């Protein structure tokens, strides 16, 4: 990254635009834990029932048309799901993920019913009358009904509950819950190019779902709402909710394009959501300015209130329980990271959750509340280093506690981005993130961490293997010791040593280490960046132009580290002295200066404190003689002040 002993002086005028909520640092961590715990809970609930996707790999979904009849007062679904698919191989059958607790009435292929079977492993096998050739676009419709499996009212999937005495049904399918209420491919490997959703429900209610509400029509005592979505979508991001919603309608300008902003809220919470509308609009504009236009700008952004303890990033429609700023911005951020680009494995869940956590912090510009910002960054860092080990990479995808670890997947994942931003600088970092989000191989598809690294490397020209090996795959953190001393030759000397908390994983962390230098009064300071490439590395830095009295390691907390130590090794500077010879003096006298350094100002004042003479000299040696023509002054006592960057000395001269 930098050559040996290379120093970069950086004026940190523009600090990282990450801040925090207007709450305490403890609450900041608790909210992060709360979000991750909710993700874990629904993983546990669904994984026990749906396991992982067992759909066959011989077809790829291109389009879903879903028709669902729902009454929020009755836990029941009547469905018709038509899937357009393209075969990857010659196929005599295809296999969906689908619960065996719902009854399939029939499967229709080319207007004829075909043979199917529901398996105990929660799959639906559809047999075709003849082999479908590889590469053919075809379709099949599944008709079904019943009571979806229940994992409890607050564990996701298909949930019926109530609010303020009114019934509500809502769905939440991450990670595997979609197959509990509709037949689909249910893994992190396939997205439908588009879908249409028709929801029929009693007329006293309203429905919310993905995409654009093209129309709502009356059918006697029921309504049917048609939602059209024309962006690729993973099955776990499909959702609907039905209850007596109030619908708040506003709009926002995204890169000059007006887009609807809708909020489906319980009537009893209408005021809270109305008050949060400006926040929603501002966050949409902020994220669009940094990461490209809102990914579904041709349709809408919506929020739907539901009964879960937190939120869920359903595509175009964040389901949230309340109007907390952190929750709103976290779930909205997922529209870019999680929906537009979705992690391709639970090993890389930080690409969803670490990013969203960082985006929620980023919403608060530093200048809004710098004190809270610094406190929250500090508390997040303390949380990360509260344990010696742990990688952002998930090494056990069968363990929900490991996948949704709030310290690693969320907090450390977010700090990984903070460190990348500091390492690359704002320009390259944001350019790299934008290239990642618009990469044709990834956009509206799936990504792994290697894809993010590839795009950041392409933009920066830097090999980031060391960074991802240390901070993504590796465990632990460094502890730095900075030994430093000043010298009389205008140089500062540093030796940087490092110990790691998990040396069996990472023996040495290569980092650009920020070191802040300041004088004793804190009136002058500068920050240098020392490129630490090996242990016990030595650096020589030019004098910053003031006497360095204090050295601080990474004061703005751009790196993950703990228990850092500064050791001042410099010997005491010989005391500066000034004397006049001869004294008293009648004509000319020599002023002897000892241990003054650099630019030195001599000033002579009479008894009335009037300056009668001054001279500035530059001294390179440990002592010097300066002549003063005292014959020009009247008899009396004079005060001589001698000042250099280290301070001031004075003496008295008597003119006889």
Q: Is the pLDDT of residue 10 over 60?
A: no
Give the range among 174-183, 235-244, 288-297, 350-359 with minimum mean pLDDT. 174-183
Domain boundary among the residues 298, 316, 342 is at 342
Domain end marker among 568, 592, 622: 568
User: Contact, 394 vs 366, CB < 8 A?
Assistant: no
Do 385 and 285 reside in the same domain of the chain?
no
**What pLDDT does 2 receive?**
28
Band (pLDDT 50/70/90 cuts) for residue 216 is very high
What is the band of 367 on the pLDDT scale with cuts at 50, 70, 90? very low
> Residue 32: inside a domain, yes or no?
no
Tell me which residue range forms the domain holding 523.
477-568
Rounded to the nearest 10°, the torsion over CA 38, 40, 42, 48 is: -160
> How would residue 36 be classed by pLDDT, with cut points 50, 70 and 90?
low
Q: Please state the rounded mean pLDDT for residues 472-497.
A: 92
Q: What percent of the chain lies above the pLDDT cut of 70? A: 89
The pLDDT score that the predictor gives to residue 631 is 86
Q: What pLDDT shows up at residue 656? A: 85
Peptide bond into 582 cis (omega under 30): yes
Q: CA 373 to CA 378: how far, in whole Å?
A: 9
353 domain residue, yes or no: no
CB 641 within 8 A of CB 648: yes
508 inside domain: yes
Please tell me whether residues 388 and 290 are part of one structural domain.
Answer: no
Mean pLDDT of 118-141: 97
Between residues 261 and 629, the one the model is more confident about: 261
271 and 141 in a common domain? no
User: Could you tell me if 106 and 156 lie in one domain?
Assistant: yes
- Please identify, among 424, 456, 473, the residue that sits at the C-terminal boundary of a domain: 473
The average pLDDT across 439-451 equals 98
Q: 141 is written with which tokens?
A: 């419709």
pLDDT of residue 565: 96
Same domain, 279 and 423: no
Q: Is residue 410 part of a domain?
A: yes
Average pLDDT, stretch 488-507? 92
Q: Is residue 250 part of a domain?
A: yes
Which CATH number does the domain housing residue 624 bear? 2.60.40.2550
Tokens coding 384: 């990360």
> Average pLDDT in the 459-475 region?
98
Same domain, 430 and 368: yes
Q: What is the mean pLDDT of residues 32-57?
A: 63
Give the number of domains in the chain: 5
Position 421 confidence tier, pLDDT thresholds 50, 70, 90: very high
Q: Is the pLDDT higher at 333 or at 10?
A: 333
Task: Say if residue 293's pLDDT is above 90.
Answer: yes
Portion of the chain with pLDDT greater than 90, in percent: 72
Average pLDDT, the chain: 89
Q: Are residues 491 and 564 in the same domain?
A: yes
Q: Check whether residue 74 and residue 205 sit in a common domain.
A: yes
Interatomic CA distance for residues 299 and 261, integer angstroms: 10
Answer positive or negative: Cα dihedral of 444, 445, 446, 452: negative
Residue 457 has pLDDT above 90, yes or no: yes
pLDDT at 42: 55
Least confident of 77-86, 97-106, 225-234, 567-576: 567-576
Same domain for 226 and 115:
yes
pTM of the shown model? 0.81
Residues 420 and 436 in one domain: yes
Task: Identify the CATH number of the domain in which residue 527 sits.
Answer: 2.60.40.1840
Q: Do the domain assignments include residue 194?
A: yes
């Amino acid at each position: 990254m930098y050559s040996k002993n290379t120093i970069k002086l950086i004026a940190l005028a523009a600090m990282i635009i990450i801040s925090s909520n207007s709450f305490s640092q403890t609450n900041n961590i608790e909210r992060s834990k709360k979000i991750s715990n909710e993700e874990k809970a629904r993983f546990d609930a669904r994984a026990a029932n749906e396991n992982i996707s067992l759909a066959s790999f011989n077809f790829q979904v291109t389009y879903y048309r879903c028709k669902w009849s729902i009454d929020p007062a009755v836990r029941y679904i009547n469905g018709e799901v038509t899937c357009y698919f393209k075969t990857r191989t010659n196929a005599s059958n295809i296999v969906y993920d689908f619960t065996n607790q719902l009854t399939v009435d029939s499967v229709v292929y080319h207007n004829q019913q075909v043979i199917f079977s529901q398996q105990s492993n929660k799959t639906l096998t559809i047999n075709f009358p003849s082999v479908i050739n590889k590469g053919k676009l075809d379709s099949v419709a599944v008709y079904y009904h019943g009571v979806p499996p229940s994992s409890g009212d607050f564990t996701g999937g298909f949930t019926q509950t109530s609010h303020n005495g009114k019934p509500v049904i809502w769905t939440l399918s991450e990670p595997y819950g979609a197959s509990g209420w509709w037949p689909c491919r249910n893994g992190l490997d396939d997205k439908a190019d588009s879908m249409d959703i028709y929801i029929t429900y009693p007329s006293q209610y309203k429905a919310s779902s993905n995409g654009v509400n093209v129309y709502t029509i009356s059918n006697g005592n029921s309504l049917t709402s048609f939602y059209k979505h024309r962006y690729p979508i993973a099955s776990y991001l499909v959702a609907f909710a039905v209850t007596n919603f109030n619908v708040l309608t506003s709009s926002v300008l995204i890169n000059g394009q007006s887009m609807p902003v809708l909020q489906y809220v319980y009537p009893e919470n209408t005021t809270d959501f109305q008050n949060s509308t400006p926040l929603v609009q501002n966050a949409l504009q902020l994220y669009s300015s940094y990461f490209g236009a809102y990914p579904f700008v041709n349709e809408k952004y919506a929020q739907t209130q539901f009964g879960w303890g937190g939120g869920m990033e359903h595509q175009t429609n964040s389901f949230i329980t309340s109007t907390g700023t952190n929750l709103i911005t976290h779930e909205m951020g997922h529209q870019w990271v999680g929906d537009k680009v979705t992690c391709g494995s639970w090993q890389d869940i930080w690409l969803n959750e670490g990013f969203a956590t960082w985006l929620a912090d980023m919403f608060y510009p530093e200048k809004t509340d710098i004190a809270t910002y610094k406190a929250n960054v500090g508390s997040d860092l303390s949380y990360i280093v509260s344990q010696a080990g742990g990688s952002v990479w998930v090494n056990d995808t069968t363990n929900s506690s490991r996948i949704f670890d709030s310290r690693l997947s969320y907090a450390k994942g977010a700090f990984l981005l903070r460190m990348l931003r500091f390492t690359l600088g704002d320009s390259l970092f944001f350019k790299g993130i934008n290239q990642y989000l618009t990469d044709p191989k990834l956009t509206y598809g799936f990504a792994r961490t290697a894809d993010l690294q590839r795009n950041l490397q392409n933009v920066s020209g830097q090999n980031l293997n060391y960074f991802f090996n240390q901070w993504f795959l590796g465990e632990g953190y460094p502890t730095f010791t900075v030994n430093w001393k000043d010298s009389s030759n205008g140089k500062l000397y540093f030796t940087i040593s490092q110990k790691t908390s998990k040396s069996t994983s990472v023996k040495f962390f290569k980092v650009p280490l920020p070191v802040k230098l300041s004088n004793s009064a804190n009136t002058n300071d500068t920050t240098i960046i020392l490129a630490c490439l090996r242990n016990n590395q030595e650096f020589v830095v030019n004098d910053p132009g003031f006497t360095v009295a204090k050295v601080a390691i990474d004061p703005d907390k751009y790196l993950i580290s703990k228990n850092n130590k500064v050791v001042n090794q410099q010997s005491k500077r010989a005391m500066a002295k000034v004397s006049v010879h001869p004294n008293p003096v009648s004509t000319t006298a020599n002023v002897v200066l000892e241990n003054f350094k650099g630019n030195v100002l001599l000033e002579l004042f009479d008894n009335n404190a009037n300056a009668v003479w001054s001279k500035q000299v530059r001294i390179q040696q440990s002592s010097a003689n300066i002549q003063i023509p005292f014959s020009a002054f009247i008899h009396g006592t004079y005060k001589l002040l001698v000042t250099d960057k280290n301070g001031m000395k004075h003496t008295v001269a008597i003119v006889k």
